[in-house]
A and B are shown apart, each in its own frame.
Chain A
Amino acid sequence: MRRAVTRYDAVVIGGGHNGLVCAAYLARAGRKVLVLERRERVGGAAMTEEVFPGFRFSVFSYVVSLLRPEIIRDLELPRHGLHILPLESTLTPLENGDYLAQWNDHDQNRRELARHSLRDAEAYDEFGRVLHHMARAIKPMLAMAPPDPTSLHPGELASLLQLRRYFKDLGAERFHALHKLLTMSVADYLDEWFETEALKATKSASGIIGTLLGPRSPGTAYVLLHHYMGELDGVFRAWGFAKGGNGSVSAAIAAAASAHGAEIRTSTAVSNVLIKNGKARGVVLESGEEIEGEVVVSGADPRRTFLSLVGEKHLPSELVESIRRFRFRGSSAKVNLALGELPNFTCLPGRGPHLRGAVSISPSVEYLERAYDDAKYGEISRRPYMDIVIPSMIDPSMAPPGKHVMSIFVQYAPYHLNGGWTDAKREALGDAVVDTLSQYAPNLKGAILHRQVVTPADIERIVGLSEGNIFQGELTLQQMFFLRPAPAWSKYRTPVAGLFQCGSGTHPGGGVMGASGRNAAFAILGAGA
């Protein structure tokens, strides 16, 4: 007689994009894989939802750029419905009524920069070249399981030596340039290149995303580079927007996984990892059901994985201490607007091509720094940094005809808000965003049909990301590479045999990149599971 219990080669906890990528690679290698997702649909923070009738939103993450090209290739994502539409430009409205636009078209971009500063227009190409080289230098490390520098294991020593060789081959000049990028503040770094405030601010904004640090804090320059990786692999304007919203990224990966035979169960919450004799044997669902698996892979963040799904008693105290110290400090929020008409920017009126790109509210570095000042003492930025896209301009299926959806990424909205997050505070954040934006586009208030505000507390509650951190843990130097999420446990393994991690809380980190999921799958396959 057949037993009712099916035994899987791998049980993946969490159907976020990394969990799905990991499952797809495992299934592709012939493993019997089950993905368990707590919510009613897969995608985690990469999902599309019809929040208001007729208006569809990428509720959390909203652009694609960092998704690794090898994943798109290996999993044949375009065949499974992934279609990325480019974002053409970034518009930065200024407080004096002027604007700075950055275009994908090289000549157009240069002419626009020269309008502000001839020097900056000249420096821009060289800057792009240097960052491009740096991004290329970092790139091989994205696909690497970071070696443990404290280990004396011959295999680890060999990969350390290999890493050293790699850095030596980079040459002193690039090694030092990399050192600078890793240790400088994004504002100081850009000061060495440019003089136009709006340009420095808009560029430095990508250095502060997902962290509770200001643009003048050392360590932020690296995040700039992290975001520059999006411009690699021959696709210059790789900052794009997925047709159908970011949920279609997840849907495409899920479809690829299913096509390879992976099973996906939604509305199935995992209560804990089943551990017997120090080895992971499967998972226990909240319903009480047990599912057996040869290996268990957690796509949840490190705090959730170790302190909640596994439990302290199965872990060495040193790891527990490291995970407790791992910093999340979510600082980003989303405001999603359903609009009756397009916003009309005073600086560039009408329906121009700029509405097909991003709009960045970052008039100066000081503006960003002041936004951070509010947040570091536990308040919402009175005048926040915003990154805005209007997806319905690129993909009309996102809104009813003639109407639009606007996605606003907001920083800073600290998770640890004085007095905690309440409905009133959530609305206050929405008001700060709308009021600030209305100064640049006065018709906005009248155009709003519906408003959805997503705070870090909401992100934690809905998606399960601890403290609402969009990267599953801050991307700062002390939480990167062999320290992500904890020393000695950065290679996707855990002290529990058969339990692996695949979330962006592992190397190389977040941003709808998928690299963690892919690297984890290779670590699992390499371990012979």
Chain B
Amino acid sequence: MSSRAIVIGGGVNSLVAAHMLSRSHEVILCEGDSPEDGLGWVPPQIARALRLEGLKIEAPDPWAVAPLPGGGRLELWRDVARSAESIRRVSPPDAQKWPQFCTRMARLARFLEKAYLEPPPDPLGVRFALRARLLGRQGLVDLMRLLPMSVAELLDDWFENDTLKGLLGAAGVMHLQQGPRSGGTAFRFLHHHVGSPPGIFRPPRSNLHALLAKRSGVEAREGKITSLLVHEGRIRGAVEDGKEIEASLVLSGAHPRRTLLELADPAWLDPELVRGLRHLRDRGVAARVALHLDRAPGFTTLVHAPSLDYLERAYDDSKYGRISQRPYIEAYCDAQHLVEAQVQYVPPGTDTRALADVVAATLSEQLGDAVIESVEVTPSCQPHQVELALDQALWMRPLPQLAHYRTPIAGLWLCGAAMHPGGAIAGAAGYNCARAALANRP
């Protein structure tokens, strides 16, 4: 049998999977040219497994800056005490609770962190139960309460200041078609904390994608995969632009729906699975907007989510298919006065002009006298492929039948962000999938 493997898709997960396989297989990487924002914590296990050199992780300090009503800024720093000092200026009671909040959240994030670097846990398994127990009483109660909660409820339990709650709450709805008052958003808040030290509630950026894209050992091809070759329930290869490539192993980082319903023949599949694949929720909600300014604006990094109500109202517009009139924006400005903004909620297909106007109006105070010279828009897409919500997470991700990376077609595996643990954990799905596929070798 051939020891050739094909990896489809160019996201960081596919790259990690490809390089994990390259030690034992001849690996062909197809469709490897997808853009990548570099967002996400890089688990040290992956760095070790791939013997990564030159990995750079950005650690902005402060990690978040939000304008305060009436002038001034709320700055949250990597140092918990320094953040508390900053919070004290807007709310002494909140400042007092900050260190304890950070400790309790970090404990829960560490629990997820462990579960994220292996296949999804068995919720009824003894191992999972024991691990949950190790959280201790307080931790276990926190976990059970927090997962189904809305991030608004969680933050209302702890804090009073709107700016602080808006800034933190945004992490609960980032890339999700839900508002902060929707259940399950506290889980998202925690997801974006995984891998970060206590007190930092935004995933970091790294050069992992760029590093792996340059690395040798994997044959990258430009063509597009049009179908998979299956024989007697086993994968035999793939068709790239009409040309057959033989392989005994295919790892697909493409959307599970595309992989199984378009590239493979759905006739292979159980109708229940087909139905499940059709119903996967994968709405894109955040567009990327690049603004070229003629001079520096009043910020280098900015979170525009002044309160939980503000976020909720932004979501309201999108429920009825409209762009948020006052969207939630996270923006970075580089030395060339290029502002990269992530704008939410923006339904796919929104008019570029309308979007640019809304962004300019929303940021007018922060932009000051700067004039926008040009605008580039990347329409909304779902970076998790499949929305990361409680019913599509862990052992349910993307569907219970597919949660362990394998598919009903022997030798065909799924390795994209649609798989456990989802996006914003750079390469973990690819890492878990490659390990499962390698362990399964006959």
Residues of A within 8 A of B (CB): 149-150, 160, 164, 167-168, 172, 175-176, 179-180, 182-185, 188, 191-192, 213, 216-220, 325, 327, 366, 369, 373, 376-377, 476-478, 482-483, 487
List of 10 A-B pairs having minimum Cβ-Cβ separation, nearest first: A219-B183, A477-B148, A183-B390, A218-B183, A183-B391, A218-B184, A176-B400, A217-B182, A487-B141, A150-B137
- In the bound complex, do residue B279 and residue A179 qualify as a contact, i.e. CB atoms below 8 Å apart? no
In the complex, whether B381 has a CB less than 8 A from a CB of chain A is: no
| B124 close to A167 (CB less than 8 A) | yes
CB-nearest residue of chain B to A150: B137
Residues of B within 8 A of A185 (CB): 182-183
Is there a chain A Cβ closer than 8 Å to B281's Cβ?
A: yes
Q: Does B316 contact A (CB under 8 A)?
A: yes
Residues 377-393 of B contacting A (Cβ, < 8 Å): 389-391
* Cβ-defined contact, B391 with A150, below 8 A: no
Residue B181 lies at the interface, judged by CB distance under 8 Å to chain A: yes
Please give, as numbers and ranges, the residues of chain A lying within 8 Å of B279 by CB-CB distance: 191-192
> With A168-B124, A478-B153 given, can you name 10 additional A-B contacts, CB distance below 8 Å?
A149-B144, A150-B137, A164-B124, A172-B400, A185-B183, A217-B178, A217-B183, A220-B183, A366-B320, A478-B146
B 167-199 contacts with A by CB, 8 A: 178, 181-184
Q: Is the interface of B mostly helix, strand, loop or mixed?
A: helix
Contact (A218, B140) CB under 8 Å given A476-B183, A477-B148 = no
7 CB < 8 A contacts A-B: A185-B182, A191-B279, A366-B319, A476-B148, A476-B183, A477-B183, A483-B144
State A268–B137 Cα separation when bound (angstroms).
40
Find out whether the CB atom of B182 lies under 8 angstroms from the CB atom of A216. yes
Contact of B319 with A369 in the complex, beta carbons under 8 Å: yes
- Which residues of chain A come closer than 8 Å to B224, judged between CB atoms? none
A191 closest partner in B (C-beta): B279
CA gap between A483 and B320 in the complex, in Å: 34
Q: How many residues of B contact A (CB 8 A)?
A: 34
**How far is the CB of B400 from the nearest CB of chain A, in Å?**
4
Q: Is the beta-carbon distance between A180 and B144 smaller than 8 angstroms?
A: no
How far, in whole Å, are A316 and B440 apart by their CA atoms in the complex? 52
The chain A residue sitting closest to B181, CB to CB, is A376
Q: Could you tell me if B391 and A478 are in contact, using CB atoms closer than 8 angstroms?
A: no
* Cβ contact within 8 Å between B396 and A180: yes
Q: Does B261 contact A (CB under 8 A)?
A: no
- The verdict on B149 contacting chain A, using a C-beta distance below 8 Å, is yes
The docked-state distance in angstroms from the alpha carbon of A449 to that of B137 is 58
**A487 — which chain B residues lie within 8 A by C-beta?**
141, 144-145
Least Cβ–Cβ distance between B313 and chain A, in angstroms: 8
Q: Which residues of B contact A (CB under 8 A)?
A: 123-124, 129, 132, 137, 140-141, 144-150, 153, 157, 178, 181-184, 279, 281, 309, 312, 316, 319-320, 389-391, 395-396, 400
B residues in contact with A175, CB < 8 Å? 123-124
B319 (CB) vs chain A CBs: closest residue: A369
Q: How far is the CA of A149 from the CA of B133 in the complex (A)?
A: 8
Q: How far is the CB of B113 from chain A (nearest CB, A)?
A: 21
- Closest residue of chain A to B321 (Cβ to Cβ) is A366
Contact of B391 with A218 in the complex, beta carbons under 8 Å: yes
Closest beta carbon of chain B to A163's beta carbon, Å: 9
CA distance A194 to B148 in the complex (A): 25
Contact B182 A478 (CB under 8 A): no
Q: Could you tell me the distance in whole angstroms from the C-beta of A153 to the nearest C-beta in chain B?
A: 12
Q: How far does the alpha carbon of A150 sit from the alpha carbon of B138 in the complex, in Å?
A: 9
Shortest beta-carbon distance, A212 to chain B, in Å? Answer: 9
> B124 contacts which chain A residues (CB < 8 A)?
164, 167-168, 175
Contact status B183-A213, CB under 8 Å = yes
- Across-interface contacts of B316 in A (CB, < 8 A): 373
In the complex, what distance in Å separates the CA atom of A188 from the CA atom of B184?
A: 14
Q: Is the CB of A219 within 8 A of B148?
A: yes
Q: Which residues on the A side are within 8 Å of B146 (C-beta)?
A: 478
Which of B148, B182, B391 meets A180, CB within 8 Å?
Answer: B391
Contact B141–A150 (Cβ < 8 Å): yes
B382 to chain A, nearest CB (A): 15
Shortest CB distance A147–B (Å) = 12
Residue from B149, B181, B391, B395 having most chain A Cβ neighbours under 10 A: B391
